Amino acid sequence: MKITDLKCAIIGDNPIVRITTDEGIDGYGQAEWTKPYLKPFVHFYKDLVLDQDPTDVERVMTRIRRLGSFKPWGAAVSAIEVALWDIAGKAAGVPVYKLLGGKVRDKVRVYNGGRRVPLKGNEPEHYAENMAIMKEFPENFSIIKQGIAFHSGMGREIPDYFYGEMPAGNTRGAFGGPMTERGLSHTIKCVEAMKDVLGDEVGLALDCGPGMTVPDTLRLAKALEPLNIMWLEDTITGDYTPYVLPENFREVTTQTSTPIHTGEQIYLRQNFKDLIETKAVNVIGPDPLDVGGIAEMKWIAEYADLHGILMAPHGVADGLIGLAAHVHMAATLPRNYIALEYPAGKPDWWYGLIDGLPNPIVENSHIKVWDTPGLGISFNIPEAKKHLEDEDKGFFD
């Protein structure tokens, strides 16, 4: 079997990869819907994968893996890897999880990072109200993640929240700095308000940055110890930060019982090595659509398990093809697996484009692992074609 084409279409901001073969078997992958600019990066690898056997996934990946990098640049490599596994599973007539070593679990736990309700403000009562609504969602999520500190509107909307400058009109640039006593106190009150709603029935995870200092991360972590928070995520480095700084995280982790988490921006196992070996964090959260793919992620999970580090994969914007990849991967992960961040379809019409997912997808905070070959999903092509841009009209041909 040989690869005959590598295509990419942007469908509702979702970069979708399609790999075709000379035996008529194709495979799909995707990147986050936050990356509608990704098509040229996918095409960059085309000449390196054409005429290769897609079922030799690792051989193909060795041709392109070193040419990726930290988020967002590794996303194209990751999407290609997922599409290769989809083909390999279809060719063998087995679900992808079988090719990754087989199931450890028949259903995978998910947490709510993407099924959101807009906050009405940044005061404790707004956070409490928001959490009360999400607690009643029909998915019955057992863990809910909420943005606070520099991963929320607090830094922009709360006066004198931190000792730093808010970049005017910059919606993508990082900001942060030392928090004022008022800022830290406000943050703690908002977390306490959320826990008052959730009690011990639903776990609360907190996305905090990047942008916090080491002392502020430690002060917040120590203050929240009585609340048994699931984790503090990406306080120091994180989303779109092209470095790790494990020594800074370790300074916090060794002094608090509040679990510390990072990893969504990191590309490849090599860049997790120091983070894991020095036990700089308690939980890692690589994203399979950024880290280099699902096999790469399983390797990292196994290595983390050897070092007593837990696994909570990132995936908020990974879409429905990404969701399928997550489920197959999570089914095979070791016992350090907590839950994956549930990716919702965006826009909502995506749910009419993909066949093969469970209905309902999430029941009691879990997704049942399905057994159809490959990723086990397919496009409703007539419906999907309605959403193709003119330049992508031949995507399904």
Peptide linkage before 215 cis (omega within 30 of 0): no
Residues 58 and 133 in one domain: no
230 burial via Cβ count (<10 Å: 0-12, 13-18, 19+): buried
Examine the domain organization and report whether 81 and 38 are in the same domain.
yes
Domain that holds residue 10: 3-94+379-392
Rounded to an integer, what distance in angstroms lies between the CA atom of residue 81 and that of residue 299? 14
- Cα separation, 198 vs 240, in Å, equals 30
In a domain, 347, yes or no: yes
Percentage, residues of the chain above pLDDT 70: 98
What mean pLDDT do residues 217-222 have? 98
How many angstroms separate the CA atoms of 262 and 285, rounded?
6
In a domain, 253, yes or no: yes
Q: Before 210, cis peptide (omega within 30)?
A: yes
Q: Which helix (H) or strand (E) holds 18?
A: strand 14-21
Residue 276: C-alpha distances to residues 153, 250, 346 (Å): 31, 10, 33
Q: End-to-end alpha-carbon separation of the chain, Å?
A: 19
Answer whether 0.75 is exceeded by the pTM: yes
Whether the predicted pLDDT of 169 surpasses 90: no
**Mode of pairing for the β-strands spanning 3-11 and 14-21:** antiparallel
Shared domain check, 282 and 177: yes
66 and 27 together in one domain: yes
**For residue 176, what pLDDT is reported?**
92
Rounded CA-CA distance 154/104 in Å is 40
95-120, pLDDT tens digit by residue?
A: 999 999 999 999 999 999 989 999 99
Phi, psi angles (nearest 5°) of residue 20 = -110, 160
Number of domains in the chain: 2
The answer as to whether 27 is a domain residue is yes
234: three-class secondary structure by DSSP = coil
